[in-house]
Amino acid sequence: MNNSCSEEEYESYPPFFRQNQGVDHEEILSKDLPAESDSLPVIDFQLMNPEKLGEICRNWGMFRVVNHGVPLGLLNQLHEHANKLFSLRFESKQTLLTDPILYFWGTPALTMSGNAQQTGPAPENLNWLEGLNIPLPLVKTSREDPFIESFRSLLEEYGSHQARLAETIFGIMAEDLKFSPTKTKSYLSPPTGFLRLYRYLRCPVPDQRWGINVHTDSSVLSILHQDQVGGLQVYKNNKWLDVKPIHDSLIVNLGDMMQAMSDDSYVSVKHRVKVNKEKERISIGYFVFPEEDAVIQSSKYKPFTYADFQAEKELDLKTVGIKIGLPRFRIKEKHDLL
């Protein structure tokens, strides 16, 4: 780490990130022009209507929510607990954080602890992060650490708020898209929701590494709360925009399932996270999906379930190394076959 890094912080990082500070400076991964500040649409949760929300979903696929009813004190406590937890020694986190809360690093959702002793330059697909995957509702274990028990209580409360927000927001989207009551019920299922807490590590070469590279979410909806460091960017009108951190607001973005459900009317928005040389960044994401057996019917795509989508995504990650996603299910137009 750099000279300002404390020994405690150094020991809290996965060994791979302690060992791999040598990066080929000829290999620049980010060649974009500097991002502009966002003009992200703002939605008052208490004043939402289908027409305005539908327009934003068609044009942006991401928006800021205010007046959402999630207590500011809860947000502050969650970030404080997350900071304390991530600041523990790496080995302690691996021991402490097991089922149902799972610790991971290096990818947005998959533990790489088995590669902790790997040496050599970090591969370009390695994300400069660590995190927690948290299923909802959280089941209390018989011998729970007091700190984890306190954290679990906060996460459950936050998860309940997120489910409330997701159901209301999706209900208004469903009204705009004129979904039947059956579709509205099956296309978004709060029991599928889970939380991910991310800690984006300080990186000595932030122009050459990513917190998370360009992607779309696979969810119906994703709801994010970020700290004040910044780093989230959204792709709009062929350029990247910095999504400004505003502590008492939440960021909602649409995922692949929502785009398919809407016949490509709504946008599953591309976004990414940049890393910082001087500061770490904490964010809390909530992701929610359709019912397990819900078949997504669309004029643009072959009928599929989320399980079908996930199986194709995992296969593509293993065989070609990237997520292909919705194009795997798209119905080919006549002109595509000529």
Is the pLDDT at 334 greater than 70, yes or no? Answer: no
Burial 164-192 (b: 16+ CB within 10 A, else e): ebbbebbebbbebbebeeebbebbbbbeb
Lowest mean pLDDT among 23-37, 72-86, 286-300: 23-37
Is the pLDDT at 312 greater than 80, yes or no? Answer: yes
Is the pLDDT at 18 greater than 90, yes or no? Answer: no
Is the pLDDT at 93 greater than 60, yes or no? Answer: yes
**Cβ atoms 285, 223 nearer than 8 A:** yes
pLDDT digits (tens, 9 = 90+) for 157-206: 999 999 999 999 999 999 999 999 999 999 999 999 999 999 999 888 88
Q: Which residue has the higher pLDDT, 98 or 226?
A: 226
**Cβ atoms 206, 276 nearer than 8 A:** yes
Is the pLDDT at 311 greater than 70, yes or no? Answer: yes
Six-digit token pair at 306?
């989320």
Is the pLDDT at 308 greater than 90, yes or no? Answer: yes
> What's the pLDDT at 10?
67
What share of the chain has pLDDT > 70, as a percent?
A: 83
pLDDT digits (tens, 9 = 90+) for 238-249: 999 999 999 899
Q: What is the CATH number of domain 7-295?
A: 2.60.120.330
Domain boundaries, the chain: 7-295
Task: Give, in order, the Cα–Cα distances in Å from 61 to each of 146, 235, 296.
Answer: 40, 10, 19
> What's the pLDDT at 114?
35
CB atoms within 10 A of CB 206: 17
Q: What is the pTM of this model?
A: 0.88
Burial 87-103 (b: 16+ CB within 10 A, else e): bbebeebbeebeebbbb
Q: Which residue has the higher pLDDT, 1 or 45?
A: 45
